[in-house]
Structure 1
Amino acid sequence: MPAKLVFGLKNGTSVQKELPDAEFKFFLGKKVNDHVKGDAFGYPGYEFEISGGSDYCGFPMRWDVPGFQRKQILAVKGVGLKMTAKGIKHRKTVCGNTIHPKIAQLNLKVVKEGSTPLAPPKAEGEAKPEAKEEKK
């Protein structure tokens, strides 16, 4: 199962690419907040920071949970939580901070840009999708 990489660019947009299993092996054992060079998986000149991800069931990775297994944590705020009221604690299932083969998506933040752009430039004449008319 190929993993998806989501690159967060400096201008606030993101680009999603699929990574084959052979190239994903480079990430195994790395942790959230680690810096990686893009040369190892096809992006020469780039440097990325692993900012998170999710496993095959959709549980988010959390930087402060060690290991690769899922844990049910009691938390007030942070990754995987919506604050409903101030100070209320929630029991949530999250994934550990170590990358393992069952990770389906990795979020990477661009720290240093390379010579080639990650996203292809948009064509000048590309039309925006038209807004649908409201029925009354």
Structure 2
Amino acid sequence: MGPRAYLVNFKLTVSDSKGRSVTRELKEGDASPLLGLGIGSEADATALGLEGKIRITGGSDKSGVPMRPDVHGPARKYVLLSRGVGLRDAERGGRTRKLVRGNQISEEIYQVNCSFDGEIPAEPKKEEAETKE
């Protein structure tokens, strides 16, 4: 392997307009088109077995640090936050310095959240029915 050969794995959580969501794991070849995309970007959904487009809405890295849309680039940064992604319940008027990740997908990202423009087809629940018996 060369210096830039990375094994990229993403857990993609895809939700549709009706509130249904599915989690799919993308490995190396299927995951590489997502590298470099930012929050709000659109990508093709054929790697997930869906027809249409997905829009990236967020994500987190391997240690759970959330991506934030207003921090540019893929780096982790300490940012002074008063509300929004990465901060829970600040006092009124209070601000807190928190660690967040930028809005660009890189090799360190573990989970990517997306929205699907169509409707996710209902999958048969055969495996769950067999495990309950």
The question of a shared fold, defined as TM-score above 0.5 by the shorter chain, is answered with yes
State yes or no: 1:54 paired with 2:70. no
Structure 1: runs of 5+ lacking an equivalent: 130-136
Residue in 1 that maps onto 2:93: 87
Residue in 1 that maps onto 2:12: 5
* Bigger helix share: 2
Matched residue of 1:49: which SS?
A: strand
State yes or no: 1:31 paired with 2:38. yes
Residue in 2 that maps onto 1:134: none
Aligned CA RMSD, in angstroms, stands at 2.2
State yes or no: 1:108 paired with 2:111. no
Residue in 2 that maps onto 1:132: none
Q: Deviations over 1:67-108 (max 9, x none)?
A: 100010001111011113212101110000011111101001
- Length-normalised TM-score, structure 1: 0.80
Structure 2: runs of 5+ lacking an equivalent: 1-7
Aligned length: 123
Residue in 2 that maps onto 1:133: none
User: Stretches of 4+ moved more than 4 A in 1?
Assistant: none
The one of 118, 123, 130 equivalent to 1:120 is 123
- Length-normalised TM-score, structure 2: 0.82
Q: In structure 1, how many angstroms separate the alpha carbons of the residues matched to 2:20 and 2:92? A: 31
